[in-house]
Amino acid sequence: MEIRSPAFKENARAALDDPQLRHALEHVKSGFIVKRAMAAEALPEFEKLRDSSKAIKDETLANLDKYLEAYETKVTESGGHVHWAESAADARDIILKICQSVGARTVTKGKSMISEEIELNDFLEGNGVQPVETDLGEYIIQLRGEHPSHIIAPAVHLARSQVEADFRRVHTHLPVDRDLTEPVTLLSEARKVLRAKYFQADVGITGANFLVAETGTSVIVTNEGNGDLTQILPKVHIVLASIEKIVPTLSDLSQVLRVLARSATGQDMSVYTTLSTGPRRAGDPDGPEQYHVVLLDNGRSSMIGTEFQEMLRCIRCGACMNHCPVYHAVGGHTYGWVYPGPMGSVLTPSLIGVDKAGHLPNASTFCGRCEAVCPVRIPLPKMMRHWREREFSRRLNPATQRYGLKAWAFFARRPRLYRLATSIGIPVLSLFGGRGRFKSLPLAGGWTRHRDMPAPEGRTFMQEWKQREAQKQGARI
Amino acid sequence: MNQQTPQSRRVGLFVTCLVDLFRPSIGFASVKLLEDAGYTVDVPMAQTCCGQPAYNSGDREDTIAIARKTIETFEDYDYIVAPSGSCAGMLKKHYPALFKDGDWAERAKAFSAKVYELTSFLTDVAGVDHVDVVHPGSVTYHDSCSGLRELGIREQPRKLLRSVGGLEIKEMPESDVCCGFGGTFCVKYPDISNRIVEDKTDSIRQSGAKTLLAGDLGCLMNMAGKLQRQGSDVEVRHVAEVLAGMCDTPAIGRRKD
Ligand code: SF4
């Protein structure tokens, strides 16, 4: 996926000017937030579960090597194969080789952000293997040649009418006069079209919400059941997951699942929670003949032991973006790479470099709503600030900003000079603010382009205070 | 009500740079509220800014220098009170995190324990449960982010406002959503900030209130600037002005006719 993060500001401008997008983003605001709040409210132990989920992930990360090894052992014991992929390219190659080993022409795919991260679809297509997305949102995105704009609702930036138009454009074998006015009719049409593909596919690729070290199990949660068909019907099932998806035990899994859906969609549980361990055993009624797990690092292990380690607790629920005023304003594509919203603003610089993704951790008001809802209590604003610190110490931010800040800090560190400068400057500024505010102001164009700037009242508080104290003294004498 | 001895009632007022420069009335309203609650208020001249512009721009070195100065200036007071959730949050929650260990870490910790935002100090520490003033008309209250999420300030200002004679609180939808100010954010990303504050002014209008109040001047200037650009006649004030009964100065962004 082309990295468009450096053009964040231009992307934002275009997004803000798009009325259809604005309308679509209203759903993020109105839908997810209320539902999460109700789900959290309805479960008395919700806050405690957040604490224990955080603790589970912290413990996992502190011993990640141990749990990964244990996981591999269990997968192998159950007849599966674990493949270690250090980079995106490694992961792509491993997957292609598996596909080629069974002569695959078509692969079905469950929803996976890792697949986006390693740009799997283009690569497979370029090598003669046709990927078919089976999650409704992903399917729509694939038809449009786009990328997801949200980690759990990939097509949230689209209106129903746009999807209808896409379906009519692509599904030309269906009657033209069919009724597609209800979202559910779109879902059943996609289901019908996809049904045939499941049986054609030689390989099914899914992501994993969790990997359980204790049992070597991969876990997916979906609402459409597409993931189940993807992983059960083809001969080969490939699980594509990043290394931090591990949880130690099944009992840990059950705890984290209780916060995942509630935080994501406000459901108590997603409709389908599917656990798979190894290939089909003798006597199993169904299941794949081969079971592969591709474990992707792609820079994550280098986050361990740094101020960004906590980001690896993320369980990809999407709550942070659902509650983010910046995401609400500009949508997911503006962020310019795979992961949008607050979690992306922390993770993306780790994965593609802060030199390219520098806008992301800066484009936050630090309102803290993301951290307030994150089920595993990731201090997202704090980590965005850490990125700003790295940028500042590497002199990556614009020179005008640096010098402005340094000049300001020079005074802020020297109270006497600060007092002197402000006691001269502020009354002058106030003098010009004849109507109580400024419509435009030099050096404050960013502010006055959109709003007036209230003028200072007159003299500074300190000037007034000194005078008041002096008068008091005088009165006492 | 309050069992403290007079010796433990010295408050150092952290004025905040915006109040100092743009709206001294808020400083005087704060002094009045604190004095009415029985505290001796001092305003040390050696204060400047809490350091957030540097801190949030990744300039740790200057932040630490500013934090040391602030701690030195204020650590002898019994309490440090600021009429801003954002600056109080910086002093209380972020200063201690700046110093890893040693002497300064101890000092920052001791300092931080004494820091309060104005309305929460009045209700939670001073035990004030009503103010003796009148302010006829309807107000709506915006919960500024840092105060709300870092310091848990939500009920305190409302509790005090409910005791104001003639005042009616009309809640706006999503009073807890950011106004788009975000310190340097609003000048670095003006277009995004603008969309966020537009949504906020929509909510303010929906409340139907005559006056908008909040506890942070940065947010207030942002919302007032937008309301006025839109031609709205909603008055914008800091909550301390209303609580102290000091609304004789024109509202934010207005001047006497
Ligand atoms: S950072 Fe937290 S809120 Fe955001 S997706 Fe990850 S787990 Fe969910």
Q: Is B181:B222 a contact under the CB 8 Å cutoff? A: yes
- The pLDDT tens digits of the residues spanning A61-73 come to 999 999 999 999 9
Per-residue pLDDT at A431:
75
Taking residues A23-50, what's their average pLDDT? 94
Q: Return residues 190-219 of A near B (CB < 8 Å).
A: none
Nearest CA among A18, A12, A325 for reference residue A159: A18
Per-residue pLDDT at B196:
98
Write the ipTM: 0.94
Band the pLDDT of B5: cuts 50, 70, 90.
low
Q: What is the H or E stretch that residue B167 is in?
A: strand B165-169
Question: What is the sign of the dihedral through the CA atoms of B113, B116, B120 and B122?
Answer: positive
Band the pLDDT of A86: cuts 50, 70, 90.
very high
Per-residue pLDDT at B90:
97
Per-residue pLDDT at A447:
87
- Least confident among A100-109, A176-185, A382-391: A176-185
Q: Is B188:A362 a contact under the CB 8 Å cutoff? A: yes
Please state, rounded to an integer, the average pLDDT across all residues of chain B: 95
More confident call, A82 vs A405: A82
- The pLDDT tens digits of the residues spanning A364-412 come to 999 999 999 999 999 999 999 999 999 988 887 777 777 778 878 888 8
- Asked if the Cβ–Cβ distance from B193 to A406 is below 8 Å, we say no
Which residue ranges have their beta carbon within 6 Å of ligand 1? A 263, 314-320, 343, 374-376, 378
Q: What is the H or E stretch that residue B137 is in?
A: strand B134-141
More confident call, A474 vs A52: A52
Nearest CA among A352, A459, A462, A365 for reference residue A415: A462
Q: Which CATH number fits domain A1-42+308-397: 1.20.120, 1.10.1060, 3.40.1350, 1.20.950?
A: 1.10.1060
Which residues touch A407 (CB under 8 Å, ≥6 apart)?
none
| Boundaries of every domain in chain A | 1-42+308-397, 64-162+195-298, 414-476
In this predicted structure, the answer to whether residue B2 has a pLDDT above a threshold of 50 is no
CB-CB neighbours of A393 under 10 Å: 12
Please state, rounded to an integer, the average pLDDT across all residues of chain A: 93
Q: Which residues of A touch B257 (CB under 8 A)?
A: none
Band the pLDDT of A425: cuts 50, 70, 90.
confident
- The 3-state secondary structure of chain A reads CCCCHHHHHHHHHHHHCCHHHHHHHHHHHHHHHHHHHHHHHHCCCHHHHHHHHHHHHHHHHHCHHHHHHHHHHHHHHCCCEEEEECCHHHHHHHHHHHHHHCCCCEEEECCCHHHHHCCHHHHHHHCCCEEEECCHHHHHHHHHCCCCCCCCCCCCCCCHHHHHHHHHHHCCCCCCCCCCCCHHHHHHHHHHHHHHHHHHCCEEEECCCEEECCCCEEEEEECCCHHHHHHHCCCEEEEEEEHHHEECCHHHHHHHHHHHHHHHCCCCCCCEEEEECCCCCCCCCCCCCEEEEEEECCCCHHHCCCCCHHHHHCCCCCHHHHCCHHHHHHCCHHHCCCCCHHHHHHHHHHHHCHHHHCHHHHCCCCCCHHHHHCCCCCCHHHHHHHHHHHHHHCCCCCHHHHHHHHHHHHHHCCHHHHHHHHHHHHHHHHHHCCCCEECCCCCCHHHHCCCCEECCCCCCHHHHHHHHHHHHHHHHC
- Least confident among A209-223, A457-471, B102-116: A457-471
In this predicted structure, the answer to whether residue A419 has a pLDDT above a threshold of 70 is yes
In this predicted structure, the answer to whether residue A469 has a pLDDT above a threshold of 80 is yes
Task: Tell how far the Cα of A341 is from the centroid of ligand 1, in angstroms.
Answer: 9
DSSP label at residue B251? P
Per-residue pLDDT at B62:
94
In this predicted structure, the answer to whether residue A212 has a pLDDT above a threshold of 80 is yes
Per-residue pLDDT at A27:
85
Our CA-based measurement puts residue B250 at a distance from the nearest CA of chain A, in whole angstroms, of 9
Taking residues A435-452, what's their average pLDDT? 81
Taking residues B3-17, what's their average pLDDT? 80
Taking the Cβ of residue A407 and every Cβ of chain B, the question of whether any pair is shorter than 8 Å is answered with no
Q: Which residue of B has its CA nearest to A468?
A: B28
Taking the Cβ of residue A432 and every Cβ of chain B, the question of whether any pair is shorter than 8 Å is answered with no
Band the pLDDT of B114: cuts 50, 70, 90.
very high
- The pLDDT tens digits of the residues spanning A330-375 come to 999 999 999 999 999 999 999 999 999 999 999 999 999 999 999 9
Per-residue pLDDT at A121:
97
Taking residues A88-109, what's their average pLDDT? 97
In this predicted structure, the answer to whether residue A284 has a pLDDT above a threshold of 80 is yes
Q: Which two tokens stand for residue B257?
A: 């006719």
Taking residues A444-469, what's their average pLDDT? 88
Q: Which CATH number fits domain B129-243: 3.30.420, 2.60.40, 3.30.200, 3.40.50?
A: 3.40.50
In this predicted structure, the answer to whether residue A51 has a pLDDT above a threshold of 90 is yes
- The pLDDT tens digits of the residues spanning A402-412 come to 777 887 888 88
Task: Tell how far the Cα of A371 is from the centroid of ligand 1, in angstroms.
Answer: 8
Atom from ligand 1 closest to the CA of residue A316: 5
Taking residues A231-239, what's their average pLDDT? 95
Per-residue pLDDT at A477:
61
Band the pLDDT of B1: cuts 50, 70, 90.
very low
Taking residues A154-162, what's their average pLDDT? 95
Q: Which residues of B touch A446 (CB under 8 A)?
A: 186-188, 190
Our CA-based measurement puts residue A344 at a distance from the nearest CA of chain B, in whole angstroms, of 17
In this predicted structure, the answer to whether residue A30 has a pLDDT above a threshold of 90 is no
In this predicted structure, the answer to whether residue B7 has a pLDDT above a threshold of 70 is no
Per-residue pLDDT at B142:
98
Per-residue pLDDT at A405:
82
Q: Report the predicted TM-score, pTM, of the whole model to 2 decimal places.
A: 0.94
Distance CA A468, CA B79 (A): 22
Our CA-based measurement puts residue A271 at a distance from the nearest CA of chain B, in whole angstroms, of 30
Q: Which residues of B touch A391 (CB under 8 A)?
A: 58
Fold of A64-162+195-298: Rossmann fold (3.40.50)
Closest partner CB to B56 (pick from A385, A455, A462): A385
Q: Which residues of B touch A385 (CB under 8 A)?
A: 55-56, 58
Band the pLDDT of A414: cuts 50, 70, 90.
confident
Residue spans of alpha helices (H) in chain B: 17-22, 24-36, 52-55, 60-74, 85-89, 95-98, 103-112, 118-120, 145, 151, 155-162, 185-188, 190-207, 217-229, 239-243
- Asked if the Cβ–Cβ distance from B221 to A325 is below 8 Å, we say no
| Boundaries of every domain in chain B | 10-124, 129-243
Distance CA A255, CA A370 (A): 21
Per-residue pLDDT at A428:
78
Band the pLDDT of A6: cuts 50, 70, 90.
very high
- Asked if the Cβ–Cβ distance from A412 to B48 is below 8 Å, we say yes
Phi first, then psi: what are they for A230, rounded to 5°?
Answer: -65, -35
Burial of B90-104, coded b for 16+ CB within 10 Å and e otherwise, reads: bbbebbbebbeeeeb
